[in-house]
Amino acid sequence: MILTVTPNPSLDRTYEVPALDRGEVLRATAERMDPGGKGVNVSRALAAAGHRTVAIVPLGGAPGALVAELLTGQGIEVAPVPVKGSTRSNIALAEPDGTLTKINAPGPELSASEAESLLAAVSAVASAAAASAVSAIAARSASAAWIACCGSLPRGLAPEWYAKLVTRAHAAGARVALDTSGPSLLAALRSRPDVVKPNADELAQAVGRPLATVGDAVKAAEELRGLGAGAVLASLGADGQLLVSSAGTFYGHARVTAVRSNVGAGDASLAGFLAAGGGGPEALSAAVAHGAAAVQLPGSVMPKPADLDSSAVTVTADIPLDRVLTEQGSPR
């Protein structure tokens, strides 16, 4: 079982419109509502692939209740942490040519007690999951339990909050995959997360310099390992993915027929990586397959097993160091 933590979840409403005309009344041709947030998307991808997952989320108000209902409807177990403020609602306007205009709300400001309650929930759920696995004579499964901690931090949570979460998760016997950026990522490295998953821009920001080639990305990932990351799973967009760990450095990419949407593709990749064990070239191959499948699906739809094409994936230890990145990482 894989747990996910999303400190700032959302209720995402998407409206399809013929055109985005400022100052006009727009009539949507279709609409949909989804639970949102990076950790939530990881749980959605795991559930779509048939894996058991628990989403730990701070929820408040009517939007929070809807998020819980939508997650449950997708076969995801929910461990809600009640908060006083209302869960944020995000709006997306989708045009026929694929242009997506998003309005993301800031979300509630968590109090000190709510921040502590969220940490306590992570410890409790992780400990319960490990105990359940041991009672089922699955000690190996217990030792391989993962917690995916994903997304930006809401107001009220200091950058060091993720570092505290990593420490508590390790104390509960779980391994941690961290997908965040900026000060939160750098602060958490001191607590030695088992895997961090930056994209090219986030990797560049972490080391404070632009990344022009795959070789630049490898060097940056090695620096993050030097700062405390056990492994680095770096998403390089259309240029593939890198896995840099104590077991070696591997590069993976996939043949993609057509890109329909890259929303949630990185989250799907992390789900595939963790579901495949969270380490080594086999896990990287699964990550690349999940990401490639996700970009060929509409919106934030997560791939099912039938959508995966492992034959389109190549993973190698022969790294194309001089390959120029199509989407060059910039330290924003």
Residue 315 in 3-state DSSP?
strand
Find the radius of gyration of the CA atoms of the chain: 19
How many other CB atoms sit within 10 Å of the CB of residue 266?
27
Query: Which residue is catalytic, options 194, 267, 307, 309?
Result: 267
Q: Is 267 a catalytic residue?
A: yes
Q: Return the structure tokens found at 62.
A: 């009517």
- Strands, DSSP E only, in 151-247? 175-179, 195-196, 211-213, 232-235, 241-245
Q: If you count them, how many residues does the chain have?
A: 332
User: How many Cβ atoms from other residues are within 10 Å of residue 71's Cβ?
Assistant: 25
Distance between CA atoms of residues 217 and 270, nearest Å:
18
Could you write out the DSSP letters of every residue in 224-293? HHHHT-S-EEEE-GGG-EEEEETTEEEEEEE--S-----TTHHHHHHHHHHHTTSSHHHHHHHHHHHHHH
Residues annotated as catalytic are 267
